[in-house]
C-alpha cells in the first residue's frame, strides 16, 4: 500500500442529528457547512450524504460529511478559521452523536 496524492487529507464527520430537528433546519445546516468551501481557502471540496446501508451497522448515525484538504496544515487552518469556528458553534449543538476522523487516502496496488 502507498499513500495517494501527496499531502491530501480527508476530514470526515459522521453525525446523528438531535431528535426534533425539522428537515428544513437540517438542510440549512448542511448548506452552511457546504458554504465553508467558499470561505476557507484550504478547504478544496465538500461532499455529504445520508446512510443508505442495509447492513444495520450505522450505530444510529445518519449523515456523513467529507471535506478535502491539500495537507494536514490545511485542516489545522480550517479548524482555526473564524468562519469554521462560528459554524461549529451553530452545528455541533444540533448533534446527538458525532465522530470526526482525518485521514490520508492510501492506494492499494495489486
For the annotated catalytic residues, the residue numbers are 78, 81
Q: Under a CB-based contact definition with an 8 Å cutoff, are residues 9 and 72 in contact? A: yes
How far apart, in whole angstroms, are the C-alpha atoms of residue 39 and residue 59? 32
Quickly tell me which residue has 479548524 as its cell. 79
Q: What length is written for the chain?
A: 110
Element holding 35 (H helix, E strand): helix 23-39
Name, in order, each residue with C-beta under 8 angstroms of 58's C-beta and a sequence gap of 6 or more: 51
Amino acid at each position: 500500500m502507498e499513500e495517494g496524492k501527496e499531502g491530501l487529507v480527508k476530514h470526515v464527520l459522521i453525525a446523528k442529528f438531535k431528535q426534533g430537528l425539522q428537515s428544513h433546519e437540517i438542510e440549512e445546516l448542511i448548506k452552511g457547512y457546504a458554504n465553508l468551501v467558499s470561505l476557507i481557502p484550504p478547504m478544496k471540496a465538500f461532499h455529504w450524504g445520508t446512510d443508505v446501508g442495509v447492513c444495520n451497522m450505522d450505530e444510529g448515525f445518519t449523515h456523513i460529511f467529507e471535506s478535502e484538504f491539500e495537507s494536514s496544515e490545511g485542516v489545522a487552518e480550517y479548524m482555526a478559521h473564524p468562519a469554521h469556528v462560528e459554524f461549529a458553534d451553530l452545528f455541533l449543538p444540533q448533534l446527538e452523536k458525532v465522530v470526526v476522523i482525518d485521514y490520508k487516502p492510501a492506494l492499494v496496488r495489486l
